C-alpha cells in the first residue's frame, strides 16, 4: 500500500473490516496460491471462510445473507484481495450475480439463492461469452425456448466462463424470442445439478491459473418457468447493462491495488539486490524509473478513489466505469512490466510473485468488455 495515503472514503468501521479481510488474505489466500494454481481452482474452504467474514456480499441486506454494509465494504475487499495478488479468485462473480438477483430477481429467487451465495456455500458463474461472440452480447446463439407447459429448454455453448468447474449455479445469457437485437435476450438461472447442463474442460490460460475458467454446454437443458431472472422475458440485455459498470469498476479498483503491490515488491527487491557493488536502488536509472512508477501508482489510486466514491454515492455511471477500466488496466500492464525488468531473469520465473502478476495482468484488458469497447462507450458520452 502507498505510505501516508488514506483514501478519503475510508472510516474507522472500514478500517476494522479491512483488517479482518487483510488477515484472511494473508492467512488463506497468499499461502495457498501455488497449490491453487497447480490444481486450477480455489478450495471451497476459502469460499466458506470468506463468507463467514461477510466478504462475498458485504453490501446486501442481512435478510438475504449479506453483511448489511455499503459498496465501500465491497471495495475494501476488492483492494485487499488485489494487495495480495489473488486475481484468480472468482469471488467477484458471486458479487455480480448477487446484485443481478438483488436488483432484478423475484423475491423467491432472492430467497433461494442469495443466502448461500453470501455464505460461500453456493459458487456462481455468468455464462455470457460464446465462441465467436466476444463482447457482442447481442450476437449470442444460445436459446431458451418456452414450452407449452411454461418450462424453458436451453441449448447452446459458452466459453471462458469464470468459476466454470466449481459453480453450483450459472446465470445464462440466452435468446428467448426471435425479436431483433437486445429485445430477444433474457437471463436464465440454471442449477448445475440439472442433467441438461454439462461442463467442458478447464481451460489452460496464460495467467490467473488458480481460476477454473471453463467451457459449458446446455443440451436440451429443461428449467422451470421461475428460472427466468425477474420473471419477464427480453430484459436480459438491460439487466446486464445495468450491472456491467460495476463489474468494470471492480476490475479498475483491483488494477490500482495490484499496481501498489507490484511497486512494493519491487522497492523491497531493489533495496536488497546488488549490481556492480551497489544496491539497485542506488542506481540512477532504478530511482528515476521507480519515481515514475510511484507517480503512476499514486495517480491510479486517486482515480480508483473517485470511482469508489461515486459508487458509494450512487452516481457511478457507465462512462466513468469504462474510463477506469481501460485506463487503470493499461497502467497496470505498464507498471508491472517496468517492475519485472528490475528483477532480471527472476522476474520471468513463476516462483516470484511479480512474474505471476505479469502473466495475470494481461487479461484485465480483455474481460469485462475489451478496452477498445470501453473507449467506444466513453466516446459516446463526449
In percent, how much of the chain has pLDDT > 90? Answer: 92
Q: Are residues 219 and 330 both part of a single domain?
A: no
pLDDT band at residue 135 under the 50/70/90 scheme? low
Give the domain extent around 26: 12-119
Chain centroid to Cα 233, Å, comes to 27
Which pLDDT does position 277 carry in this prediction? 87
Last residue of a domain, which of 234, 261, 290?
234
The mean pLDDT of the chain is 95
Q: Is the pLDDT of residue 137 over 80?
A: no
Q: Work out the end-to-end distance of the chain between its first and last CA atoms, rounded to an integer number of angstroms.
A: 34
pLDDT attached to residue 353 = 96
Confidence of residue 318 (pLDDT cuts 50, 70, 90): very high
| pLDDT in the model for residue 139 | 78
The reply to whether 23 and 40 lie within a common domain is yes
Residue 267, Cα to own-chain centre: how many angstroms?
A: 27
| Residue 373 shares a structural domain with residue 245 | yes
Q: 121 is written with which cell numbers? A: 456455500
- Angle (CA) 176-177-180 rounded to 5° is 125
Asked whether the beta carbons of 86 and 33 are under 8 A apart, the reply is yes
CATH number, domain containing residue 305: 1.20.140.10
Q: Could you give phi then psi for residue 9, rounded to 5 degrees?
A: -90, -5
Rounded Cα distance, 120 and 217, in Å: 24
Query: How much is the pLDDT for 275?
Result: 85
Any domain includes 286: yes
Same domain, 72 and 192: no
Closest CA to 7 of 58, 67, 79, 59: 79
pLDDT for residue 5: 86
288 within a domain of the structure (yes/no): yes
- pLDDT value of position 179: 85
Active-site positions read 247
Please state the rounded mean pLDDT for residues 313-317: 96
Residue 195 belongs to some domain of the structure = yes
On the CB side of 252, how many CA atoms lie within 13 Å of its CA? 32
List, as own/partner pairs, every contact residues 23-30 make where C-beta atoms lie below 8 angstroms and the sequence separation is at least 24, other chains included. Answer: 24/49, 24/50, 24/53, 24/55, 25/80, 25/81, 25/83, 25/84, 25/86, 26/84, 29/81, 29/84, 29/86, 29/89, 30/84, 30/85, 30/86
For 239-344, where are the E strands, in sequence order? 274-275, 278-279
For residue 182, name the pLDDT band (cuts at 50, 70, 90): confident
Q: Which residue has the cell 448477487?
A: 98
Q: Are residues 287 and 248 in the same domain?
A: yes
Asked, for residue 197, whether it belongs to a domain, the answer is: yes
Could you give the 3-state DSSP secondary structure of residue 161? Answer: strand
CA pair distance 285, 266, nearest whole angstrom? 14
How many structural domains are present in the chain?
3
The predicted pLDDT at position 292 comes to 98
3: pLDDT strictly greater than 80: no
pLDDT number for residue 134: 64
Same domain, 115 and 129: no
Residue 3 lies in a domain: no
Are residues 282 and 350 both part of a single domain? yes
Which position has the higher pLDDT, 133 or 254?
254
Q: Which pLDDT score, from 0 to 100, does residue 1 have?
A: 64
Are 112 and 129 found together in one domain?
no
Q: What is the pLDDT of residues 190-240, one digit of tens each?
A: 999 999 999 999 999 999 999 999 999 999 999 999 999 999 999 999 999
| Residue 376 grid coordinates | 467506444
- How far CA 57 is from CA of 91, 115, 200, in Å, comes to 9, 9, 28
Q: What is the pLDDT of residues 79-91, one digit of tens each?
A: 999 999 888 999 9
How far is Cα 356 from Cα 118, in angstroms, rounded to an integer? 29
pLDDT value, residue 323: 98
Quote the pLDDT of residue 232. 95
Average pLDDT over residues 178-185: 87
Task: Based on the fold, state whether residues 274 and 356 are members of the same structural domain.
Answer: yes
What phi, psi does 274 have (nearest 5°)?
Answer: -115, 145
Residue 271 belongs to a domain? yes
- Among candidate residues 119, 143, 178, the one where a domain is terminated: 119
Mean pLDDT of 35-61: 96
Check residue 194 and give its pLDDT: 98
Task: Count CB atoms within 10 A of the CB of residue 148.
Answer: 5
Amino acid at each position: 500500500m502507498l505510505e501516508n495515503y488514506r483514501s478519503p472514503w475510508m472510516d474507522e468501521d472500514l478500517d476494522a473490516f479491512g483488517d479482518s479481510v487483510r488477515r484472511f488474505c494473508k492467512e488463506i489466500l497468499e499461502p495457498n496460491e501455488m497449490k491453487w494454481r497447480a490444481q486450477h481452482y480455489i478450495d471451497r474452504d476459502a469460499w466458506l471462510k470468506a463468507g463467514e467474514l461477510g466478504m462475498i456480499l458485504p453490501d446486501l441486506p442481512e435478510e438475504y445473507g449479506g453483511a448489511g454494509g455499503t459498496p465501500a465494504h465491497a471495495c475494501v475487499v476488492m483492494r485487499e484481495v488485489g494487495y495480495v495478488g489473488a486475481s484468480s479468485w472468482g469471488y467477484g462473480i458471486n458479487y455480480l450475480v448477487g446484485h443481478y438477483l438483488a436488483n432484478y430477481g423475484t423475491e423467491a429467487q432472492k430467497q433461494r439463492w442469495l443466502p448461500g451465495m453470501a455464505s460461500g456455500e453456493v459458487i456462481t458463474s455468468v455464462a455470457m461469452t460464446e465462441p465467436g461472440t466476444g463482447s457482442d452480447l447481442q450476437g449470442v446463439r444460445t436459446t431458451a425456448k418456452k414450452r407449452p407447459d411454461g418450462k424453458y429448454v436451453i441449448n447452446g455453448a459458452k466459453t471462458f466462463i469464470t468459476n466454470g468447474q466449481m459453480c453450483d449455479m450459472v446465470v445464462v445469457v440466452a435468446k428467448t424470442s426471435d425479436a431483433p437485437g437486445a429485445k430477444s435476450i433474457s437471463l436464465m438461472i440454471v442449477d448445475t445439478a440439472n442433467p441438461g447442463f454439462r461442463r467442458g474442460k478447464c481451460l489452460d490460460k496464460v495467467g490467473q491459473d488458480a481460476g477454473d475458467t471453463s467451457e459449458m454446454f446446455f443440451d436440451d437443458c429443461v428449467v422451470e418457468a421461475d428460472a427466468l431472472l425477474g420473471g419477464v422475458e427480453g430484459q436480459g440485455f438491460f439487466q446486464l447493462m445495468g450491472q456491467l459498470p460495476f463489474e468494470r469498476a471492480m476490475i479498475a479498483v483491483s488494477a490500482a491495488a495490484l499496481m501498489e503491490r507490484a511497486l512494493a515488491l519491487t522497492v523491497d527487491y531493489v533495496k536488497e539486490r546488488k549490481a556492480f557493488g551497489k544496491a539497485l536502488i542506488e542506481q540512477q536509472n532504478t530511482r528515476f524509473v521507480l519515481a515514475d512508477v510511484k507517480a503512476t501508482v499514486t495517480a491510479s489510486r486517486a482515480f480508483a478513489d473517485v470511482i469508489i466514491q461515486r459508487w458509494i454515492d450512487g452516481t457511478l455511471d457507465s462512462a466513468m466505469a469504462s474510463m477506469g477500466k481501460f485506463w487503470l488496466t493499461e497502467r497496470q500492464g505498464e507498471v508491472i512490466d517496468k517492475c519485472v525488468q528490475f528483477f532480471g531473469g527472476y522476474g520471468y520465473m513463476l516462483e516470484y510473485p511479480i512474474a505471476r502478476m505479469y502473466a495475470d495482468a494481461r487479461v484485465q484488458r480483455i474481460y469485462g468488455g475489451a478496452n477498445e469497447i470501453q473507449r467506444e462507450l466513453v466516446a459516446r458520452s463526449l
